Amino acid sequence: MTILDAETPDATTVTAPTWTRICLLDDLSVERGAAALLGDRQIALFRTFDGRVYATDQIDPFSGAAVLSRGIVGDRGGVPTVASPMYKQVFDLRTGACLDTQGKDPHDLRVYPVAVRDGEVFVKITTEGDPR
């Protein structure tokens, strides 16, 4: 099965330097997170019940802990979400927007484009606008 994101590259661009192969789709459990290290960047991958794959920063923007892949994957009115295991803020997996701040100032979560091609998961890492 091939699942393609809106920004999914074609076969010639999926190997471009900005796209990084992370794992096989079958390596990701449905409704569970997985962590990956890309150089010095930690990301969290989530495979939802509908088969889509999402990538976010692994670092919780509220606590600074590298725990988001351990969060609870869910759905809010059709919006795929992850709840941080630290302070329980809920994030939209598509946009990174914080949907529930738990009474704190809002902080969004960085998200990355994902492509699944021939059973392999690729993430596009960009540094544009990245403070790191």
3-state secondary structure 36-78: EEECCEEEEEEECCCCCEEEEECECCCCCCECHHHCEEEEECC
Question: How far apart, in whole angstroms, are the C-alpha atoms of residue 83 and residue 109?
Answer: 11
Question: What backbone phi and psi angles, to 5 degrees, belong to 35?
Answer: -100, 150
Looking at residue 104, the DSSP 8-state letter turns out to be S
- The mean pLDDT of 86-105, rounded to a whole number, is 94
Total Cβ atoms within 10 A of residue 39: 7
Mean pLDDT of 22-49: 95
Whole-number mean pLDDT of the chain? 87
Average pLDDT over residues 109-117: 96
DSSP state, residue 7:
T
Nearest alpha-carbon partner for 49 in 85, 93, 110, 19:
93
Say how far apart CA 94 and CA 48 lie, in whole Å.
11
Please, which pLDDT band fits residue 126 given cuts at 50, 70 and 90?
confident
Q: What pLDDT is stored for residue 6 in this prediction? A: 37
Q: Whole-prediction pTM value?
A: 0.83
